[in-house]
Structure formats: structure tokens, C-alpha cells
Structure 1
């Protein structure tokens, strides 16, 4: 854009000189350099503060599916990359051992409840001890707790989708044996119930960012189009500023100004939901400062949207 404005000035200066409206003296000869400096200092550098621009990326939460119980897989009805709703079945584990455990505890519970009733009756008639009743009651309560846990395990033999989304890179098959170890996920589930769009803004340009400011975005996936949205949040931490618990002394590292991340919400949620995870683009945030530069930033963003037809990078 600065090249375009400078060329416009040069063309206008050429016409004025040819028409002899302005003399072609030393001042007018060096005026293009002065105009270039004025554009840089007065418009384009402040534009990065008033309307910062940065790369945008669509990300989605990924859930590592780890079954709560171990066993042999007997059914995998889900299809890779096919949309599923929250609660849909992902796969089933053989429930026979867990059903047997439930039945065994139920039988023990029925026996203990019968013995409790008998002991209570004897204690009521003065021929039984209170201690025996309390002991049987404790046994019944314990078995009820065990039964609740066994039923929970039985219910967890059917693994369901935690949210709306899809399973990707599906390799699980019938006959495989799965475990409940947290480091052994059996599939990756991509949550599509919420679309997260992050924009990287250089630290020197992030001084005026605030929640609610208007945003314009263009994505490689949809060249020639510009979407609108709002700043949802400005993340207050990045990994380079994070301190983790460690038994080691501080290890000095080279400090560099990593960009800050701004989370954006699109006005068109239907469009946002259709964006795949990993969709990249560019975004411009319009603050309350340097408003004359907003028009130029809008033009620049639309130039990027048009060049997205041929620019794959």
C-alpha cells in the first residue's frame, strides 16, 4: 500500500511538473523521500498500533479417549471423521465379566439384607444383640456401595462421545484389548461444539487491544471473502512466561518477544462451525486509536483475501 501511495504521488508530481504548475527544483526532487518518511512515521507505523494485523488459526479441543474399564472390544460403530452427537456410542467393551460381578454382589446383598431383617426382628423381641444388627447393617451398606461401583463399571463398558464432534485417525478394531491406563488412549476425539480462533499479535502492536473490539478475518480456505467478528479475550499468558515446579535451579534462556494470542469470535457462527481445525488466515483488529489508518488496513486485508486465490502460503 505504501508503494501504491508513493507511486500516486510521483504520478501527480510528474503531471504538475509537466504542466509547469510546480518548479522542478531541489525541494520537489527530494519531496518523494519526504513523502515516504511522512507515510511511514505518520501513518503506517502507527497503523500497526491502531489496527494490528496477524496470522489467524482455527483450533479445536481434542479429547484423548481412555476407557474407564479394561477389556476386549466387541463393537466399534463409529466411523472415522464422521460427525457424531454427544452421547453417541464410540465403542463397546465386552460386558460379561462386569455383569457377572454385578450379579454376584446383588446375590450377596440380598442374603445380607435377609440376615439384617432377621437380626432386627430378634433384637426387637429382645432375643438378639444390637451389635449383631449394626454389624449386618454395615455389611449391607458396604455391599450397596460395591454394587453401585460395579454398576458404574458395567455402564462404562459402553464408551460414548463426550460432545459433538468426530473421531479422527481411528485404528481401534473389534477384538482389540484396551486398558484404563491414562497414557494409553485408544482414539482421538475432536470436539466441534466450540470453535476457537486465535490471532497472533506482535507485542509491540498489542498495547491497545481490548475485549469487544471489531475484527476482520480472511481465511485461505475461502479466498476472496472477509469475515467479521469481535475480540473475545486477550490471553494473559504465553509459554515463555510460564514457570513450572522443578527441582532444578533457574536455567537461563534467550529471551525473545513472542507474539501474544487474541481469541476471536466470528459473527457468523455457521461459517465458524464449518471451518476445519487448522484453517489458517489473517486477521486485523481495529482499536479506538489511529482511526484514519483503519481504511488502509481494510484495503490491505482485502488484498490478502484476493491473493489467497493463488498464494498457498
Structure 2
């Protein structure tokens, strides 16, 4: 369960009541029974789940989600729609426990309803994003990146949570090539046998042959050519203002963008209530909805569960494929 001050309790209840989600996986919820009960009331759903207090035996009956109740948050003490240390601590404790379970082999994938980064920083001052937090929590030292997924279209990015003024200096041939490899691996893990990846340019009109910047000539295009030599199905760099139109019509499975908003704006315009964020590269899938905690509508019962439902189903599908490959 994510941030208790936003729509996360409501979304948790809604996906737990979804028969399609329940049928896709054995679900264990990490959180607090009182917070989930409040979320169910807000969502106007009735939950058929088992509950175990932390440290107690965990019943596992087919088709019934299990809530591990950590008994660590009284919803009456959480100011609704506001950033608070209490809501950040609730989300942080739950996330650490879920990651530990997956790292220890007790779970095949991790999903979380939305976090609020400012609230998380009140508890963990060095918190930048979920990737860094997850890596620290499980002692992971490999390469992991965020992907956004919507209606079969994927968006990957070379740089992410950095100031825009730093982006050009952070682009390297090797960095772009590493992200092409990671994107190709993630798409294959999701069941796409021969991924087709478009690479976005950094500058307007893909640099216009060097008139608007030389990153395309000196960095991006050479990385794409090296990716092709490595048998990755990639092409580009393409102007960023048209590449998503081509991908949307089916020319590509994914677009590798150079910075955060270059892809995020396009994906959220395509479908804000359905997009999924996947953290790829970890030993197990980590997924969430691509939107945030929506403090402005918290407690109103109107949060759309589509993105969170898609996140759960993607995580289950990827975990199922990994389990089948390991068998």
C-alpha cells in the first residue's frame, strides 16, 4: 500500500475487488487493516480477503488475497490530502517489506499504489526515486531504469530525475547503448519476441544536420548503429515531436527518449488513467500506476483504477513468464 493521505488506499481496495486481478496472481498486500478498510469504504467495495497480523501464520486460500497487517498506521492520524511524515513512513515501511519479500523469494513481483516523494523524503532524506530506494533496500548494484507502458507502447529514457540543464552533458554513446539493451531485455521479458525500438533525438528537428546541436551526430546516432550491430532492433534518432506518432500507429514497440518529460508528456496525453510505470532491470518486476497520489481527489471515491489494474496485470504477466522460463 502506498501513500495513505492520497488515493492509494482507495486504489488498493479497488484492485483487490477486481476479479481479473485476483485471477491473475496470488496477491499479498503489505499494509494496515484500518487503512485498507477506510479505502474500501471510500471506494464503496466489499473485500473478501484473509488477514494475518505481522508474525502470525499466513493463511493462503486459492483466489483470496492476503493482507499482512503491520498495525503501524491509524488512518485518523493521517491528514488527508496533505504531505506528512506519517504517510511517508507508512508507504516506506510497506515498500521495504514488499521488496524484502521479493528479494527473499517469497514473491515474484512487487506492485505499489502511488507514493508521494516529498512525504517519503521526510522519512528518508536521501530519497530521490523508487529505483534508488529499491536498489538500496535489496543491495542491488546492477542497472535499472523506469519504463512507461500504455496500450502496448513502451517509453524508456536515458536520463530521468535530473535537471534539464544537465541532460546534454549526461548523454554518452555507452549510456544510450546500455539503455537500448535494457529496453530490449524488458520488452522480451514482457513477451515481445522481436522488439522494435525508436530512438528520439535530443534537439529540435533531430539537430537539423548540426545546425541545432551535434548530439545526434556525435552521440546518439553512433549508439544506435552500435545497437544494430548488437542485433537490437533499433533505429533513429528521430525528431521527438513526431516519433510518438509513428510509434502510436504501430511502427515501433518502444521509444527511447533522452530525458524525463520528453516521453512522459506524450505518454500521459495518450492515456493518463491507464499508463503503467515499470522498473526494469531488477531481479523481479516492480510496477505501479504512472500517475501520482492525487491529493486533490483523496477521499472522494472517484479515483480511476485503470492504471493500477494494468500495473498489477503487467507484473503478474512478467513474473509468470520468468517463472516459466526458470522451470
Normalised by the length of structure 1, the TM-score is: 0.24
Greater length-normalized contact order (CA 8 Å, ≥ 6 residues apart)? 1
**Bigger share in strand:** 1
| Structure exhibiting the larger radius of gyration computed from Cα positions | 1
